[in-house]
Amino acid sequence: MDFVLVHGTTQSPASWDRVAKLLTTAGHRAIAVDLLTPVDLPVEGYAQHVREQYGGGRPVVVAHSGSGVLLPAIAEALDARAMVWVAAYIPDFAGGRSLRDEARDVLEPDWIGVDPAADPAKASEFLFHDCDPETERQALDSLRSFNPAVLATHPAGPAPEIPSTVIVPTRDRTLRPEWLRRAARERLGVTAIEIDSGHCPHLSRPAELAAILTRRA
């Protein structure tokens, strides 16, 4: 099985290294794509950018954090067999609201306005608080900002007819776990899988996350 791994707004593709290695060892193919481009693109442009990096096949597309905005378009562009939302924003398919419209409901109050890519102490506090020291050092090396305006302003379209798995970290300090559970149920019609981690289980709990991906996707 192919897995296309999509980084979030505060990290590079290197953040997926541990999970990718585990998936490869288990006999799968894992491709961590890079969303960063010289200029900001529309949602469809980022989907095409990912398609160019991946090639062909029917992968499972896994998105983290704010890249949930892009996940439906990427999955449709790749003819994905499944989508996996890892601590990822789930768009308001029925109401058409954007992430900016919903920010106060979705995000933990203390996280709003924080730029972890510019402040390693804040990154450790909000993103990597459950990592051991060695993992935290590697996680800090993966910090990078990806924050095109489209992530905040894109109005959600119809929900894609692609099966979804939602993974909710119970100790997330950025996206509200209770919101993610409710959005999984109300917007995707699925019961979320919970993982005992902070916002980045691909770093702090890579083996557990890889096992969920191979079992449920």
What Rg do the C-alpha atoms of the chain give, in angstroms? 16
Q: What digits encode the pLDDT tens for the residues 173-212?
A: 999 999 999 999 999 999 999 999 999 999 999 999 999 9
Q: What digits encode the pLDDT tens for the residues 129-176?
A: 999 999 999 999 999 999 999 999 999 999 889 999 999 999 999 999
CA distances from 164 to 26, 68, 146, 201 (A): 22, 12, 24, 18
pTM, whole model, 2 decimals? 0.96
Specify the pLDDT at position 55.
84
Q: What digits encode the pLDDT tens for the residues 91-101?
A: 999 999 999 99
Residue type, 53: Q
Specify the pLDDT at position 134.
96
Please provide the distance, in angstroms rounded to a whole number, between the alpha carbons at the two ends of the chain.
10
Residue type, 195: I
CA distances from 146 to 46, 71, 150, 191 (A): 12, 15, 11, 29
Q: Are 192 and 211 in contact (CB under 8 A)?
A: no
